[in-house]
Each structure stands twice: as structure tokens, then as C-alpha cells.
Structure 1
Amino acid sequence: MSLGSRKKMWTVAFLTAAVMTTASACGGGSGGDGGGSGDKVKIVFSYWGSDARQKLTEQALKKFEEKNPTIDVEGDFSNWDSYYEKLATKVAANDAPDVMSIEIRGLSEYAGRGALADLAGKVPSADLDQQVLSSGQVEGKQYAVPTGVNAFSMLANPSVLEKSKQKLPDDKTWTWDQWINLAKQISAGGGGAMGAEYNPNPAWLQIFAAQRGEKFYDGNKIGLSVDTIKAWWNISQQLIAAKAAPEPAKSAELLTAGPEQSLLATNAGAMGMWWSNQLNALSKASGQELELLRMPREKGAPSAGMFLQPAMYYTASAKSEHSAEAAKLIDFLVNDPDAASILLSDRGLPTNSKVLAAVKDKLPPVDQRTLAFIDEIKGELSPITAPPKGALQMEDILKRNTDEVLFGKTTPDAGAQKFLSEANAAIAG
């Protein structure tokens, strides 16, 4: 996702809003007309994703309307690339959707701008995983309820490994050096597949840094050292030099094409890093039974660095004219087995223990394996908290500076210094 600078995004949003406001009704996304037709109240629910997610969401919203005949829900769907620009413009124009999907990187941003309602006491949460629920808090207020959980993990295709005469590693003990060497052996094994592929997600760097005793975010500053950033880049540099991962230009092309066109999904690669809830889509695309693995570790690392993170959150507009109905929709999405039976693991595995128990047997085999994997590693995972404002820009900043290093446009030392400068500026606002 390319958002540009946070300040620029909101500046554009407010300028656009200034034009829109003269023609728009005030209030949160329901048109200000009392909502809907007849005695019905209309609320708007915004979210992003694939066509498959849109179909599942529409089914879930239809079920909610059946159970709540006085409420109409209008789904406001966007693709990922345009979601936050669109949402920022609506929030700036006081026309925010009543219920908004937000990822953890955007939580402090929107809460800090007064855009989100405090949901404490409004959405039942006794049966939700309390540690995961606490990640939806900013300055002690419960602005967000997690949709479900996942973990950033290594995915592997055993069939591709076998063709290259290699076996799945012992993910309880493997190191980054062992992963690099395995990727090299796969690429050189004559099976026609690449050993690994690049993913610019900051979660990878966050895990790597934690293994070295560093935090990605240390309060309102970046906690990474230059040495850690350089060591992290060196992993990709080694893979590229050994032709065990695609050249930077090819990686950029694959990232633009999306997960379903990744090397792993097209059986042209053996290993890649993805969120655990993406196992289903990647498995379907590949037609193979893919395996979830723990991330490799730094040799001697005291911590795995992996963490359990909400796939996304449900939040409510602070300016919604129908806050009770908005809370009722969020309650349905996280606490009703009927919703979970439709959505399954699309937004991560349910965090409501009773709901998960009710739908566990309905989960497809792939999701059953995701659940088993999360259960197996849960004791190794670190708690997660919402990062500071500016985190929405971090993937863009990290990818841009990584590209400059991997394409040879700058040195790792200069690139690391530039990344830290830009990242800290983004947090400062």
C-alpha cells in the first residue's frame, strides 16, 4: 500500500472534505435522514479486501439484518490500496461510516483524531481473549474490538521441497542461516522452483528485531538499531546473490500482483512469509497442502519474537447518529456463532472462546490446521499493543528504503539512517 506521508494524506482529505461538506449531511455515514426506509435505521459498514471477502461479508450482513429487522446495513467495500484514502476523506468530512474496519497500524491515528467511539460497556467482551482485546485500547480507552487473530509466519510447500530433494525443517530450532541455506539448496536442486521470496511487511523486521532484544516501536520513537536493520537487509541480499530469491525488480512485480500470484501460490517457490489467516487463500491458489512454520530465529535468541495480532479491528464512529445500532453490528460480528459460521477465518480465527468452540468443527481442513498451529505456538507469542500515530506509513517507508538498498542505489548504512529518520518523522507527525 502506498499512502505517501501521513500529513499529506490528511491534508488532502481535509481539502477534499471542505468541498464535500457543503453538499453532505452531517453525522456518521447514515445520511442524517433517520436512516433507511420506513421505520428502519440505516448504518454504513466500511471494510477492505478481496472479492471473496466481499461475498462472505455480504452474507454475514444479510444474516444480521434477518436477526435485526429494524436495521439496514450498507456495506462500503474498497480494495486495500484505496481504503485509507477513502476513509480519511469521509472522516474529515464528518461523514464517517458508522462501523469501520481498521488495522492495528491505523488505530492510534484514528483514535487520536477523535474519530472513534469508546466501545467499553457497549459491546459484550467477557468471552473474548482479554489479552488480544487489550490491544484495541489507546490511552486506556477501548476504541476497537478485534475481528480475529493471526500470526506472521513462514509458509512452506512440501511438494516443492520434495521435488528439490529437501525436507521440511525443524521449525522449533532453525535459524536464519539455516533458512538461507535451505533456500539456496532448493533453488539449486533442479526442481525449477525458487527457495524463498521477499515480503516487505514490517512484521518480519519486528520479529527479527525482537530476537535481538530490540523493539520496533519504543514508545513514540523507533527502537531499532542501525546494525539490526542492516543485518535484516543482509538476509535478502544473501538470498538474491545466491539466486535463492527473485531479483528486486521481480519481487516488486510479484508484490504488485498480490498473494495469489506469489511464487508460493503458483508453485514456483518453496517458502514465503505470510499472515497465518492467508493460508487458506494461498493453499487454494496453489492447489497444494501448504504448511505453517515458526519463523527462523537468530542464533541464541532468547525469544521467538513472534506475536499474536488481530487481523483487523471493528471500530465505531464517534460521530455516528446510530451508535447503539453500530455497537449491535460489532457485537454480532464478534460474538454470534451465525456470523462466525459465515466468516470463519477470513478475518482471523475468532477470539471469542464460545464462538470458536461452536464453529470449530465447521472450519475447513486448512483453517483447522491454522487453529492447531496457533494453539501450538500460543505460549511462545509476545503480547501486542497498538503502535503510535504514523504507523500506517511504516510499510511504505520500509519498502522504499529497502528497495534503495537492494537495488544498489544506496549503502546499507545510509539506507538504515534514512529509514530511521523518515520513520521517526512519521511518528512525530
Structure 2
Amino acid sequence: MGSELIYRGHDEAQPLSDSYSPKPPKPWLAVTRPIRYVLREQRLVFVLVGIAIATLVFTLSDRRPHYPIPNSHFLSESTRLTHQVSYQSHGGFGFGPGSLGSGGKIPLGLKRKGLRIVVTGGAGFVGSHLVDRLIARGDSVIVVDNFFTGRKENVMHHFGNPNFELIRHDVVEPLLLEVDQIYHLACPASPVHYKFNPVKTIISNVVGTLNMLGLAKRVGARFLLTSTSEVYGDPLQHPQVETYWGNVNPIGVRSCYDEGKRTAETLTMDYHRGAAVEVRIARIFNTYGPRMCIDDGRVVSNFVAQALRKEPLTVYGDGKQTRSFQYVSDLVEGLMRLMGGEHVGPFNLGNPGEFTMLELAQVVQETIDPNARIEFRPNTEDDPHKRKPDITRAKELLGWEPKVSLRKGLPLMVSDFRQRIFGDHKEGGASTTMSSD
């Protein structure tokens, strides 16, 4: 029988069939792997769609035009005023041929971007007229009013307009909004109203202005303060120029308003110098027109209401005190030019045409009732004897001056008062937010 032992030495020399032997890496795979990943399962389509959506979102979110105002030192006076008017009219500078970037013309097919603007006291006399102009210009307007002197009737015609919002709010409480411009008009402006609660009046002037300046600082908005000719007090200089520091009684019955506005101007300039807030200051002189409060103690509204009701026209003192009266549309034009311009101010905004109280009573008699009787009463405390603005700076730097004469504007106010006194609806509350008494 042969041996069963078989020599298998040759098998030991062969490696096992299931042993692992790594392959050397191929350099080109590291480059192509991301590309193959993107191309797999239509990932490239999703990447392109994501880029398109992000581009669209960033384009729509850039809603505020940031066009610089040309430096006035390098422009002629007429050219610079053209730039300022164009900025006021269009809310910013666009691109027009031969205009040095002034945007005097908007390219065909392009629509001006409206600004987002808050108007405090926007339901009042001056505020509501300002809102009308801003809405007509294409801006989005937020009215903030606590309705102490404002009236919803003044802005009701904007209800339903997507560019209009109304917030019942007192500016002595903080408010956070995203806006481009702030017109700060909120404060009772007639003697009847600001003497009603003098502590509240000065708090509104100081704390309210502080809150609105804080808002302007947080969101980078331009801020316009509507101050008053009352900062001059009973002036010793006539007419009053912006450099005159005034003659104010700090403890008088009118000081809650006079000193409140002076402090508001101080805060405005401190924020401008210390926090680089863009600010504008307007000192408003006597203003009249439709939507003015019927019984607010101011001379024009008093005379018109008394003449319509067949009551005596009450003249305080000897009637030789002087005032200057501007129609509300002129004031609104001045405010918008100031906000759209490059100058801080302060600027006097008023009509330099000067009338004594007796002369005003005679104009009211001619307009309403030639038989109206004049009745003299003792003068009120701290009543200024003379009030007339020097508007040289406004003429030169803003290209602004009043256009409507008293004899032309008064009948428009009379028509509004006649409807509110004798019409179907009641006269309601006060309607003035920012106009000198």
C-alpha cells in the first residue's frame, strides 16, 4: 500500500485568496469627487435656485435710497437750491442726465422709492397737512398721536391707504419703529392747551423729544424738530433772527412751553454733536388754516369763530401787539425743504408780513362780517409785544418764502370753520399740533 502522505510544499508558497491588498490612491479622484457629488441627484439645480432666492431677498430688502447730497461749496447758489428742491420732491437723488447726480429727472420707466416716515402729532393741525403732502409724494407715513389735541377726522381720508398707518401713542413713552425720517411735531401748541397741564407740557417737550432722538439714533433716521418762535420770549430784538438768544421768563405761565422747546433744541443739538444724529430745527411762527382748533385761544381762530358766531372780537390789551401769520401750506413746504436739505438750522419759518391785533380784527371783519364788534380785555401774562421773523436764512439756504397772503388764505380757513361750526358734524377736539399761538 502506497503512503497517504503527500508533499504540499508548493501550496504554502501561494498567498491566501481572500487576503486584502490596498490599491494606491488616484490623485484625480480628490478633484472630481465634489463635482460628482454636486451633479448627483440634481443637487446643482437646488444650489442655483438657492442663489437666485438669496439675491432676490437682498434686492427687495434694500428699500432706502442712499444718495449723497452734493457738497454746496462746489455748486453755485442756484444749482444748490435746485438740488435741494429736487431732493425734497423725490425723497432722494436719482440719476439724471446733466444733473451732477441731483436726480432732477427720474429715468423713464423707473419709479421713485418712497421713504418710510413717522410724524408725531400727525393727527393735528399742521401734522395732518404734512401727512397729506408726504402721502401724495409717494411716501409711507406712520402717524403717532395721543389725540390730546389731535383729531382722527384730520386723517380719516387716509384710512384704507396701504401707505398710511395710525398709532395711538404718547411720545413720553419709548417707541421702536424702522423709519427713514422723523418729523417731531407732538406737543400742545396753543396757550389754552399747554397751560391746561403745564407739567405734562414740559415733559412732552423734553422726554418726548429725548425718546424720538433715541429712535433716530437707533435706526439711523433723520430727525426734524418743530420748535417755535416762543423760544424768543418777549423779544428785545425786532425782527427776530436765528442768532438771537431770546428774552424768556423761566418761571412764567408760558415757560412750560417756551423753556420746554428751548430744552428740546438743546437735546437735538447735543444728539447731533455727540451721537452724529442727522437733525433739522424749524422755529415756527404763527400759522393758520383749515383744521385749526376752533377754540384754542389763538388770535386767528378766536377772531374767525367769534365773527361766525356773531360774538364780539376780543382784543387783549391795547391791540397794538404785532404778529405775523403764515398759511399752513407755506409752512409744510418749508418743513419738507428743511428735511430734504443739507442744513441743520435753526430756521425761522414764518411770514414777515406784520399785523397788529386791531389790523387782524379788521381783516376778519372784511372777510366775514363788517358789523362785527371789537371788545377790549386785559392783556394776558407774558404776552409778547412784537413778533416778526427774519427769514433771510430760509430764503438763501432753503429757497423758501411764504406765498399765500392773509387776505387770500383767511377765506379758506373761514370756509372750514363755517362747515365745522354749522355743518352736520361736531367740531370735536383740538386739531393743532405744532404752530405758534
Range of TM-score over shorter length:
under 0.3
TM-score by length of 2: 0.25
TM-score by length of 1: 0.25
Structure ranking higher on relative contact order (CA contacts 8 Å, 6+ apart): 1
Normalized per residue, which structure has more helix? 1
